[in-house]
Structure 1
Amino acid sequence: MTVVNGLRWSHVGLNCRDQKATEEFYTRWFGFARARVVEADGTRVIFLRRDQVYLELFPSSAEPIFATVADGPQHPGVARHLAFQVDSVDTFLDAAGDALDITLGPLAFDAFIPGWKTVWVKDPDGVVVEVSQGYTDQDPAELAGYA
């Protein structure tokens, strides 16, 4: 495998019906903060940052074209969902109260990883966001058995 020196994750660009509502959602629930605003050709793009992760918020008046199921759209070439890790899904949900649109869960996946629990919510534009606790990678020796 060839890895380009210095390669690292950069960002996800999101199309937003209401940039302000989308910015408030990711700021309030996931700790992002405005890092930059760019105006080009009459379009405002808002950059949000949390640690080394960025979200670019683009204005859009287009209607969604993909049907979404509880954990995200299932169309090839379309991201299924964004995902974040928390220490406790229950604490996250307690803090949210009724403010979040839960699409699925919370579900426990203890049969795969003890303590793995996930809930899926929608952002203001219908993007599904997964919130999990307890995920860990599989032992490399076990992975060798999968082709």
Structure 2
Amino acid sequence: MSAPVDGSVRWSHVGLNCLDQKATEAFYTRWFGFGRARVVEADGSRVVFLRSGPVYLELFPTDSAPAFDTVKDGPDNPGAARHLAFQVDDVDAFLAAADGELEITLGPLSFDEFIPGWRTVWVRDPDGVVIEVSQGYTDQSAQELRTYA
């Protein structure tokens, strides 16, 4: 039994565990335009909320080792997020601006056979989370989607 979606449900945020919160915050601030939106301190622990437009990341401190290795476009473990994704106008310009400072795990690759102009590269954040950076993605039309019903 499922409840109808009535418009009152909205995306909220992604929570990330961080070995070094300052390094993770600096990464998302520098490369993806996030800024600090809120800091919550409780029981000797600090949680940092970052915001970029309507998108929020919640950074939690941890000293645990990663549960699995993240390679290429992300882990394929059930229950694990495969990757986070951001759109840019030009993947090559984004990489040129990074000047080799980002760890590329896969790509850049072109997916013109699916969507003309769709190009993607995957990079890793300081905690091993894979980030997809792409250009040119577009949704299918309603008519095209009906063929998959």
Same fold (TM over 0.5): yes
Paired position in structure 1 for 2:84: 82
Name the SS for the 2:94 alignment partner. Answer: helix
Matches of 1:35 and 1:80, distance apart in 2: 25
Paired position in structure 1 for 2:135: 133
The structural deviation recorded for 1:111 is 0.3
Question: Kindly, what percent of the aligned residue pairs are identical?
Answer: 72
Summarize the Cα distance change of 1:10–1:41 in structure 2 as closer, same or farther, 3 Å threshold: same
Q: Deviations over 1:17-64 (max 9, x none)?
A: 000000000000000000111001111001100111110000000001
Structure-to-structure mapping, 1:7-22, within 5 angstroms: 7-22=9-24
Paired position in structure 2 for 1:113: 115
Paired position in structure 2 for 1:91: 93
Moved over 6 A (4+): none
Instruction: Count how many residue pairs are aligned between Structure 1 and Structure 2.
Output: 147
Unpaired segments ≥5 residues, structure 2: none
Paired position in structure 1 for 2:58: 56
Paired position in structure 2 for 1:71: 73
TM-score by length of 1: 0.97
Paired position in structure 2 for 1:24: 26
TM-score by length of 2: 0.96
Tell me if 1:144 matches 2:146.
yes
The structural deviation recorded for 1:8 is 1.0
Name the SS for the 1:20 alignment partner. Answer: helix
Tell me if 1:42 matches 2:44.
yes
Name the SS for the 1:83 alignment partner. Answer: strand
The structural deviation recorded for 1:65 is 1.1
Paired position in structure 1 for 2:35: 33
